[in-house]
Amino acid sequence: MSNSYDVVVIGAGPGGYVAAIRAAQNGLKTACVDNWQNRDGKHAFGGCCLNAGCIPSKAMLESSELFHRAGHEFETHGVKVGKPELDLAAMQKRKGRIVKQFTGGISQLFKGNKVDGIPGTARVLKDGNVEVTKLDGGEKETLQAKNVIIATGSTPVELPFAKFDHERIVDSWDALDFDEVPKRLGVIGAGVIGLEMGSVWKRLGSEVTMLEAEEDFLWMADQQIAKEARKQFKKEGLEITTGAKVTQAEVKGKEVKVTYEDKNGTQEVTVDKLLVAVGRRPYTDGLFADDAKVKLDKRGFIEVDEHNRTSMKNVYAVGDCAPGLMLAHKASEEGVFVADVIAGKTAEMNHDTIPSIIYTAPEVAWVGRTEEQLKKDKVPYKSGSFGFAANGRAQAMEQPHGMVKMLAHKDTDEILGVHIVGPMASELIAEAVLAMEFRASAEDIQLTIHAHPALGEVIHEAALAVDKRALHGINR
The residue (of 178 and 381) whose beta carbon lies closer to ligand NAD is: 178
Whether 215 contacts 242, CB under 8 Å = yes
The residue (of 6 and 214) whose beta carbon lies closer to ligand NAD is: 214
User: If we measure between CA atoms, which residue out of 306, 312, 311, 336 comes closest to residue 324?
Assistant: 306
Whether 84 contacts 64, CB under 8 Å = no
Query: Whole-number minimum distance, CB 168 to ligand NAD, in Å?
Result: 17
Q: How many residues does the chain have?
A: 476
Q: Where are the alpha helices (DSSP H) in 267-376?
A: 328-342, 371-376
Cα separation of 17 and 12, whole Å? 4
Query: Whole-number minimum distance, CB 79 to ligand NAD, in Å?
Result: 30
- Contact positions vs ligand NAD (CB under 6 A): 188-194, 196, 211-214, 245-246, 277-280, 326-327, 357-359
Query: Whole-number minimum distance, CB 33 to ligand NAD, in Å?
Result: 23
DSSP 319: G
Sheet strands side by side (includes 273-276) = 169-170, 273-276, 184-188, 207-211, 240-241
In 10 A of CB 449, how many CB atoms? 6
Query: Whole-number minimum distance, CB 422 to ligand NAD, in Å?
Result: 16
Query: Whole-number minimum distance, CB 41 to ligand NAD, in Å?
Result: 25
Query: Whole-number minimum distance, CB 209 to ligand NAD, in Å?
Result: 11
The residue (of 140 and 245) whose beta carbon lies closer to ligand NAD is: 245
Number of residue whose CB is nearest ligand NAD: 191
For 356, phi then psi, to 5°, come to: -115, 140
User: If we measure between CA atoms, which residue out of 104, 106, 141 comes closest to residue 122?
Assistant: 141
Buried-exposed string 59-77: b where 16+ CB fall within 10 A, e elsewhere:
bbbbbbbebbbbbeebeee
Angle between helices 16-25 and 88-113 (to 10 degrees): 30
The residue (of 9 and 258) whose beta carbon lies closer to ligand NAD is: 258
For 250, phi then psi, to 5°, come to: -125, 120
The residue (of 245 and 293) whose beta carbon lies closer to ligand NAD is: 245
Strands 140-150 and 130-134: antiparallel
The residue (of 326 and 424) whose beta carbon lies closer to ligand NAD is: 326
CB half-sphere exposure, 28, CA atoms < 13 A = 27
Cα separation of 15 and 369, whole Å? 24
* Three-state SS at 421: strand
**Residues designated catalytic:** 452
Query: Whole-number minimum distance, CB 265 to ligand NAD, in Å?
Result: 16
